[in-house]
Structure 1
Amino acid sequence: MKYIMVAIWSAIFGEILGYIVSQLNSGTYNFIAVAVIAVVVGEVALIAIPAISGSAAPKEVATEE
């Protein structure tokens, strides 16, 4: 379910960002290309960020008293 929600929100925020950037640069706005790129980046971030953060977390060492 989280992958679907990330795809939806990535597409929404990507469309907003893509529209603003295309208007500021006087470029053409391609709805499909922006949505696909935003969803791919969002899904990669969903998978990569926890993997990177998990490997950087300090290992807990059990100490005996």
Structure 2
Amino acid sequence: MKWLESNLVVIFWSVIFGEVMGYIGGTLEQMTWEPLKIGVSMAVVAVIAVNGITLLSRDDQASSEK
């Protein structure tokens, strides 16, 4: 259950930060702001990054304990 809760928090904050950065970047570059596309892409990238870092650190801890 802890894994699910942590991923939900990551998804929530990545969507919030992605929307803010997308809005600011779109305004500075005078591009259209597409909130759904930005939110989904940031959520996917954040979940992959966080779970990848967790898996890599777990493998590193297991190899250092041997």
Give the TM-score range, shorter chain.
Answer: 0.7 to 0.9
What is the TM-score with the length of structure 1 in the denominator? 0.80
Q: Which has the larger radius of gyration?
A: 1
Task: Give the Cα separation in 1 of the matches to 2:6 and 2:35.
Answer: 23
Residue-pair matches, total: 61
Pick aligned residue for 2:64 from 39, 59, 64: 59
Query: Which stretches in structure 2 are left out of the alignment for 5+ residues?
Result: none
Q: Which contiguous aligned blocks of 4+ residues in structure 1 show a shift greater than 4 angstroms?
A: none
Cα RMSD (Å): 1.5
The sequence identity of aligned pairs, in percent, is 31
Query: Which stretches in structure 1 are left out of the alignment for 5+ residues?
Result: none
What is the TM-score with the length of structure 2 in the denominator? 0.79
Give the deviation of 1:7 after TM superposition.
0.5
Structure with the larger helix share: 2
